[in-house]
Structure 1
């Protein structure tokens, strides 16, 4: 068999005659994209699931930098960085922006050539879809699969397929659309029926095991200790994607980390939505083990941690366990007007102080502040930015994405001048879909200066 051009592309698992399932993590199509320890965790969980049930699996990750001979932009800290990109004509719906629109990831022709060498051919192609407005990349991957393997079953899953199911069925035209988690009995049975097989028993830890071994030279790795979230934030669709909240025990997570660490991985990113909920169940034992066994490991929390749970003990454990990149969810400093009860002013100030007292570097602490909510007073956002800078932390604007299935989506639909319910491209947070007037370069420059504490363009200082 000819060695594929993409070093990760090879069949794994399964006895002779087993069904072969290829997973494709498609390109990002957007105005901007940045690799913040990105891995298609949902797709990797599905691939692990079907392999544990007897299938043979393979992966094509169009966002993976390990392709030999591909020039990748200069890496950032701890494995993060920019993607290579190819500028495209923007979709007609977004042409009004006048901004550059690109396909991020590996060259499409190279991807096609590598996939064409995959031997034997797949029986099924499973395509993920993360952001709803990235769906052009998913459609492109499905079209490529249709071209190369007309008889293969084309499967589309993920947030786009779940939250915009009617749109996905019309435009992507998959053979099977998976709404929600693959491990639900209905979805599991439908998958195997589409493959012409009787559904085997659902494997243990379905949805929590990740097929990380499909990456030959991983560089970094995700850690998934739980699925779902016990909270119900108005702007989030977590409950629509996964209505429950399931946590792992520490053993399987440590086994995964040990295997990845033995392959040279030093940077691990937590993908949990609620990392600090019930930490005794798995997080504290994992951190204790990391501290004892692998002091060289660095841990990162690209998803915001809940500040109210940052007690002195918790911060000490996180620091000793190797947490390096800290991201907090402040959201707003309108504590008296918050629509949730997750955080009070006292809890925020105590949590921030506890992090500093535990010895975390201020440069490694970032704080997410929501920007662009329906009807939001942006003057309050400025106050929050200055408040965060006053602590010495780095403020980051979390640009609001109107997500179908979230409690706030109807308010967003009424506030936005775009048909966000009919066309997912208008859900792109880069166009500021719920900010009056939409995206504006002058305002973007002003906000950038404010975040950095620099003089605002055309003004005195950012604090004036």
Structure 2
């Protein structure tokens, strides 16, 4: 199905169940110094829209990070050509940075659909929504969410507005002060959250079904260049720099049948690139992952799988690597953090496990170009000499190192240490949690060091 002509935002409901409320979901723009689309989808918002539609609501989606409409250069609707696997650059417009970030010597932009086109499309939405749900993927991207909420308040002043996602959940006090919306903190499928939401929009419905939170309304994208696979929510581990448990306290896994139903449906719509969104993909793989990989492997070679979230290296046995390769895994991302194996902040990994996992990937037939390794940069008190050592270690295997710039996240075990190490009031202003400013690196971001690290990554 091709992208519709602007400004259409269609409502979607289940057959014979269109008498419920109309709920509009919005994924706002990114406002930042840099942004790149790495199979980005607002999974939490899509889960909410799916469970609401299953309960009888009509739903619609405006994702400001998706092209959405057919190109119309005369209307400012241009979008950079995507890469071969669906990733790529966003349309962007340079804007003034928020006052707290005015000290940065970097351009600040709004990434996504042109703002005036979004306003026009929302104004043309007919019938108007009975409720609006706005998500936030990163805490420091909240300016885009507040802007969208203000637009919706002006268009539909009496319509309930809800703000959910990472910012609303982890920075609740700040969000309550600045957002003109009800806060949706934590998963909607939580019984108290569901009851409160339904009460506020006068929607008398029973608790969501068992698969709620794992089933996504991916069909709301009319012409997707890629799709995502979500077999689990949360994570059983508790890495010091991660807030997964604060966002999703319980690790839940779905079923192979439900995951494959999504894959088949998206494949039938022309999707060939699928990105796993699981934080712990290789944990208990017999629950859903093995059956899914086996069916994909038996279906043919036209599906490409990607793991933008780093896989846990210690689980990469010869069997695991072989099954991933047979199913069409194309983009491999690993989490190393550091080669100082005795002082790690994530799941314990020995040098032997790291070297075995790397060797097993290569023996399974993965090309070196397929494999990238994330190395954490900018942790509070981190010896950056160890980061450089880790980069050179990764390059010695022939893999591509990627610096994963540390983001101080409220709710993570390391956040107090980050607040102590940073010159910025991280707990008071989420804008300072932006990893682009190197918030916990002495002296912060500067172009000379940025160029030096780029040279190190390229082995120069």
TM-score of Structure 1 vs Structure 2, range by shorter chain: over 0.9
Could you tell me which of 380, 391, 415 is aligned with 2:421?
A: 415
Superposition deviation, residue 4 in structure 1: 6.8
Q: TM-score, normalised by structure 1?
A: 0.95
1:93 aligns with 2:94: no
For residues 444 and 300 of structure 1, the distance between their equivalents in structure 2, rounded to whole angstroms, comes to 28
Q: Which residue of 1 aligns with 2:47?
A: 45
Q: How does 1:313-462 map to 2 (within 5 A)?
A: 313-454=319-460
1:292 counterpart SS class: helix
Asked whether the 8 Å contact 2:191–2:207 carries over to 1, the reply is no
Work out whether residues 45 and 207 of structure 1, in 8 Å CA contact, stay in contact via their aligned partners in 2: yes
Residues 8 and 216 of structure 1 are in contact (CA less than 8 Å); yes or no, is this contact kept in structure 2?
no
The structural deviation recorded for 1:447 is: 0.4
Is the aligned partner of 1:182 residue 2:188? yes
Is residue 2:141 matched to residue 1:139? no
> Equivalent of 2:173, from 149, 166, 189?
166
- Contact kept? 2:33, 2:106, Cα under 8 Å: yes
1:196 alignment partner in structure 2:
202
Task: Classify the secondary structure of the residue corresponding to 2:227.
Answer: strand
Q: Secondary structure at the match of 2:23?
A: strand
**Residue equivalent to 1:63:** 65
Q: Distance in 2 between matches of 1:16 and 1:46?
A: 17
Alpha-carbon contact 1:8-1:215 (below 8 Å) kept:
no
Cα deviation, residue 292, structure 1? 0.8
TM-superposition CA deviations, 1:281-340 (whole Å, max 9, x none): 111110110011142100000000000000001000000010000000001100012245
Give the Cα–Cα distance (whole angstroms) in 2 for the partners of residues 273 and 183 of structure 1: 19
- 1:110-157 Cα shifts (integer Å, max 9, x gaps): 111111111110000000001000000110111111111111110000
Residues 76-97 of structure 1: CA deviation (Å, up to 9, x unaligned): 2300000010100000000001
The total of aligned residue pairs comes to: 451
Q: d(CA) in 2 for partners of 1:66 and 1:276?
A: 33
- How far apart are residue 258 of structure 1 and its match? 0.4
Give the Å deviation of 1:10.
3.1
> TM-score, normalised to structure 2's length?
0.96
Question: How many Å apart are 1:7 and its aligned residue?
Answer: 4.8
Higher mean C-alpha displacement, 106-115 vs 372-381? 106-115
Match of 2:214 in 1: 208
Whether the 8 Å CA contact 2:241–2:345 is kept in 1: the answer is no
Q: Deviations over 1:399-445 (max 9, x none)?
A: 00000000000000000000000000000000000000000100000
Check the 8 A contact 1:9/1:60 in 2, yes or no.
Answer: no
| Residue number in structure 2 paired with 1:266 | 272
Give the whole-Å Cα distance in 1 for the aligned partners of 2:30 and 2:238. Answer: 28
Between the aligned partners of 2:335 and 2:397, the Cα distance in structure 1 is: 15
Q: Which of residues 24, 27, 30 is equivalent to 2:29?
A: 27
Alpha-carbon offset, residue 16 of structure 1: 4.4
- Alignment check: 8 A CA contact 1:226 1:248 kept: yes
> Quick one: distance in 2 between partners of 1:386 and 1:117?
54
Structure 2 gap ranges (5+): 72-76
Matches of 1:99 and 1:320 in 2, distance apart?
A: 43
Cα pair 1:132 1:164 within 8 Å, conserved: yes
User: CA 1:82 to 1:341, structure 2 compared with 1: closer, same or farther past 3 Å?
Assistant: closer
> Does the 8 Å CA contact 2:26/2:62 hold for their aligned counterparts?
yes
